[in-house]
A and B are shown apart, each in its own frame.
Chain A
Amino acid sequence: MKMKKDITSLKLTRPQKILVTLYQLSDGTNRQVRFEDIAVGVYKNFTADFQLRGYPQYPDTGDIVHKPLYSELKKGGYVLSGNKYFSLTPKGIAYAKKLLRVSEKETVPGKTASVKLTADQQKELDRLKSSKAVELFLNGKKEEILDIDFYSYLEVTVRTGKNDFLGRLTTVEDAINATKNRSDILYKKLRECHEYLLKRFKMNIDFVRNSKGGKR
């Protein structure tokens, strides 16, 4: 994929560099990319950051690439993984695009307090609005919300892996937070509902946070 800017000149954090490389390798789609391709791609783009220690002519395929992918980027809701393949989520795609446009401003993943709703956030909010949990909340039946409604709200199940679960939670929270400057009554209610759900199902969230490993 041809980039408008020279990707190597961007001022990015290490996870952001992996993300934009994945964006590049997947042609800006959610197509799956092999871990090895990412490791080589990110080495090519940012050699100084991703070379094997003592052997600058070789890429480091260890934790330096592995860890951000499985941890930070997954928890942030930017990537999905399976069987050593990785793909970008809609949020990941939107964020990569943004990085490529505004990277000079030193953006940090997960701290996107943008005023304007992105397309993926709008899509996320539309999904939340039609969820059972929100429906019950808006109809004054919040006590009837079940754990399965909460999982559906986050678009997870009890079997969703730890980092994927936390990634979905971040994605939903980002979408909700993006509505903070909006006076629309529905968004206000949505924020109230979100707060209520986080409080009500804190034990379920903590269960995931405290569980071992990323695989379930």
Chain B
Amino acid sequence: MTIQMKIREEQNVYHDNILDIWGNDFNFSHEKGLAEWLKNSVDAYRRVGAADKDQFIIFRFTDGTQTTPSVIECIDFVGMELVDIEKAFKWWGDPDAAKRGQKIKVFGGHGNGGKFYMRQMFMQSHFVTYKQGKINVFGFNENRKYGFAEGYKDRKTSLDEALRIAGIEKSIIPNAVLRLLEHGETGFTVVKGIRPKKIVGRSLPVFRICDKLKYHPQARSPLKFSNVSVIHNGKIITNSLRMEEIESLEGFEGPFFFEIPDEIDSVSDGETGKKVSMYDKRYGKGSLVLKTSSLPFGRGGRKPELNCIDIVGEIGVIASYNMQQIGFLRYYPQAQYVYGECSCPILEDPEYDCVQNDRERLVDNDRTASLLQWIAKRIDEVAGKIAEKEAKAEEAENIRATDEFNQILNKWKNQFMSKLFAEVLGGTGKGDTTGGQGDEGSGGGSKKESKEKNGLGSGAGKGGGEGDEKKKGTKAPLVLLSGQEDPEFPGVPVTFSDRHFAVEQRQQDVDRGIYWINLEKPMAKKIIDKYGVDSPRWRNYLFQRYVDIFTKETLYRLAKKEGGSLTPEQADYEIMRVSSLVYDKATIDLEDFLLNEKYNSTKKNENESEQS
């Protein structure tokens, strides 16, 4: 038989040591702690219904001297009464502390952040608060015990005296606020942290702290609307501490909006099709908004801290994940351009609360892990498009760089191609465009003025034809790169597949004498990927394609000459002969181009221009 008993509820009893245990979780950086103070001040303004423009908050930093410790302060002009301290501030872990029983949206969450910052990160800390003509000083001593300063509990004080006790000069108070203070229509609170921890020396790294503070996920939103000033050793550093606007990546101005489905795949049991609910009638639908930055975060002054997804709650950020923390990203390099906000109200369902005390990360459970995975996929969608654009831009750049080399080869080829065919196929001297045996050619002419004897002349010599019959010479082919525009159809790029030949001609190219080097060939891509376009391997690959073109031209011309009865022996001999002549010529003319690790085409062109 079981005896029925009823337990009578009693107040929990805690040892102060529990605060040390919790406090260890608040491994504060000063920017994080200051963000907590900032949120508390903004919440104080919200409780009294102050408009954003009327919210003045001052961060005051004072370096230490030989006789005085360094001090960090946060000042607002609202103030607290004794009841606020007794019923709210003194309580640990009260999720409604920041609301003070009002139905308003506030940044404060569990009522711990600001207090723990005071308790954990300073040798001593206290706040001086003044309202309705009474001053209260409450804080933590060096033993981390809190309480009122002796003689400063609800003590009647004049404004001037209160300001003196708080160490506030009237000069730093905005005029409008000062008038309200003088009329007793508002108060003030100064939170002071004395001898901050984790700071070496007496000088406070104000710039670094503020720079990090303005990008801190917990501070970004409050800073956006309130007037936050910074004073360092009595000098105003800024009257408006807030992060700069982020310029979007061109073509990805966005923002990219994604609605969170009512159910998403569960991470823990995704393969069996288990779903996680992300929607409840009590909580609206969630959404993800992704934006881009013109520069990747972490480069060019872009703060890496911003390369994150903030999870926003009812008001303010309840967690923040940078791209490394969000989960597997296929396009991680491109995700460095992305940032955003995810609003998912169901995360704040108290029956399955996903919000942690320090609001850095969500509670790790199936819902949050599944949501993060869903977010990672959406980031990949945007980042994937950026990757596509980057690949296209890189390809265009490769074509541009390759085109420079191609022009060099085109020019080189034009100088001696017709001469070469005349040599190979017999009969020089006719025609008005082939140049014949020029007397000013740079190499290979047979006349006494030529520098090199009996080779292949490459100069556009004065000579020209000597034959009786004038015949129009063959136009040298033009070699272009796939991906470039058809010269007769600007704006229409000519592309081939990786199965097309390394050197291609379309039907319409034949009469125009155009050849295309197909950059889609796997070997071409591999060389570019592995060695880059500015490599001798790539220049050699291009040169080899010119050899292909010489060979093709030779075969067709020979076949024409032979009347369609070209034998393998003839073809074999002529192919070998042409390639031999081309390589011999290239050895003289293109040594730098083909063999040197670096080739400066600009310098080369300049030299050639000077010579001409």
Of A77-85, A105-113, A178-186, which stretch is located at the interface?
A: A77-85
| B394 contacts the other chain (CB 8 A) | no
Q: How near does chain B come to A78, taking the closest CB pair, in angstroms?
A: 13
| A53 contacts the other chain (CB 8 A) | no
Residue of A nearest to B505 (CB): A158
Chain B residues within 8 Å of A216, by CB: 510-511
B497 with A208: CB separation less than 8 A:
no
Q: A146-B499, A146-B500 are in contact. Are A159 and B563 (CB under 8 A)?
A: no
| B198 contacts the other chain (CB 8 A) | no
102-160 of chain A: CB within 8 A of chain B: 144, 146-148, 158-159
- The listed residue with most B CB atoms (<10 A of its CB), out of A148, A159, A207, is A159
| B506 contacts the other chain (CB 8 A) | yes
Chain A residues within 8 Å of B251, by CB: none
Q: How near does chain A come to B45, taking the closest CB pair, in angstroms?
A: 66
A158 with B565: CB separation less than 8 A:
no
Chain B residues within 8 Å of A159, by CB: 505, 510, 556
| B501 contacts the other chain (CB 8 A) | yes
| B20 contacts the other chain (CB 8 A) | no
491-526 of chain B: CB within 8 A of chain A: 497, 499-501, 504-511
530-581 of chain B: CB within 8 A of chain A: 556, 559-565
Q: How near does chain B come to A172, taking the closest CB pair, in angstroms?
A: 18
Chain B residues within 8 Å of A208, by CB: 507
- The listed residue with most B CB atoms (<10 A of its CB), out of A32, A80, A83, is A83
Q: Given A87, A146, A204, A207, which contacts B564 in the complex, CB threshold below 8 Å?
A: A87
B507 with A204: CB separation less than 8 A:
yes
Give bound CA distance, A87 to B560, whole Å.
14
Chain B residues within 8 Å of A146, by CB: 497, 499-500
Give bound CA distance, A32 to B562, whole Å.
10
Chain A residues within 8 Å of B504, by CB: 148
Q: Given A32, A85, A87, A148, which contacts B500 in the complex, CB threshold below 8 Å?
A: A148
177-216 of chain A: CB within 8 A of chain B: 204, 207-208, 216
Q: A146-B497, A146-B500, A148-B500 are in contact. Are A81 and B564 (CB under 8 A)?
A: yes
Q: How near does chain B come to A107, taking the closest CB pair, in angstroms?
A: 26
B511 with A82: CB separation less than 8 A:
no
Mask for A7-47, Cβ within 8 A of B = 1, else 0?
00000000000000000000000001000000000000000
Mask for A76-106, Cβ within 8 A of B = 1, else 0?
0000111111010000000000000000000
Q: Given A80, A82, A87, A158, which contacts B507 in the complex, CB threshold below 8 Å?
A: A158
Give bound CA distance, A32 to B567, whole Å.
12
Chain B residues within 8 Å of A32, by CB: 563-565
45-83 of chain A: CB within 8 A of chain B: 80-83
Q: How near does chain B come to A90, taking the closest CB pair, in angstroms?
A: 14
Chain A residues within 8 Å of B559, by CB: 82
Chain B residues within 8 Å of A204, by CB: 507
B562 with A83: CB separation less than 8 A:
yes
Chain A residues within 8 Å of B500, by CB: 146, 148
Chain A residues within 8 Å of B556, by CB: 159
Chain B residues within 8 Å of A81, by CB: 563-564
Give bound CA distance, A32 to B565, whole Å.
7
Q: How near does chain A come to B498, taking the closest CB pair, in angstroms?
A: 10
B564 with A158: CB separation less than 8 A:
no
Residue of B nearest to A144 (CB): B499
Q: Given B497, B510, B563, which contacts A82 in the complex, CB threshold below 8 Å?
A: B563
Chain A residues within 8 Å of B497, by CB: 146
Q: Given B499, B507, B511, B563, which contacts A83 in the complex, CB threshold below 8 Å?
A: B563
Residue of B nearest to A83 (CB): B563
Chain A residues within 8 Å of B560, by CB: 82-83
Q: A146-B499, A159-B505 are in contact. Are A83 and B510 (CB under 8 A)?
A: no
Q: A82-B560, A148-B500, A158-B505 are in contact. Are A87 and B565 (CB under 8 A)?
A: yes
A83 with B561: CB separation less than 8 A:
yes
Q: How near does chain B come to A153, taking the closest CB pair, in angstroms?
A: 14
- The listed residue with most A CB atoms (<10 A of its CB), out of B497, B560, B563, B565, is B563
Give bound CA distance, A31 to B174, whole Å.
108
Give bound CA distance, A81 to B562, whole Å.
10
Give bound CA distance, A25 to B440, whole Å.
51
B501 with A207: CB separation less than 8 A:
no
B562 with A82: CB separation less than 8 A:
yes
Chain A residues within 8 Å of B510, by CB: 158-159, 216
Q: How near does chain A come to B409, taking the closest CB pair, in angstroms?
A: 22
Q: Given A82, A83, A148, which contacts B501 in the complex, CB threshold below 8 Å?
A: A148
Q: Given B499, B501, B506, B565, which contacts A85 in the complex, CB threshold below 8 Å?
A: B565
Give bound CA distance, A158 to B562, whole Å.
20
Chain A residues within 8 Å of B509, by CB: 158
A82 with B505: CB separation less than 8 A:
no
A85 with B508: CB separation less than 8 A:
no
Residue of B nearest to A85 (CB): B563
Give bound CA distance, A211 to B506, whole Å.
14
Chain A residues within 8 Å of B508, by CB: 207
Give bound CA distance, A52 to B419, whole Å.
43
Mask for B61-80, Cβ within 8 A of A = 1, else 0?
00000000000000000000
Q: How near does chain A come to B586, taking the closest CB pair, in angstroms?
A: 25
Chain B residues within 8 Å of A83, by CB: 560-564
Q: How near does chain A come to B425, taking the closest CB pair, in angstroms?
A: 12
1-46 of chain B: CB within 8 A of chain A: none
Chain A residues within 8 Å of B505, by CB: 158-159
Q: How near does chain B come to A149, taking the closest CB pair, in angstroms?
A: 8
Residue of A nearest to B560 (CB): A82
User: Besides the contacts A82-B561, A148-B499, what 11 more A-B pairs have beta carbons closer than 8 Å?
Assistant: A32-B564, A81-B564, A83-B564, A146-B497, A146-B499, A147-B506, A148-B501, A158-B509, A159-B505, A159-B556, A208-B507
Residues of chain B whose beta carbon lies under 8 Å from any beta carbon of chain A: 497, 499-501, 504-511, 556, 559-565
Interface CB pairs A-B, < 8 A, 6? A81-B564, A85-B563, A144-B499, A146-B499, A158-B510, A204-B507
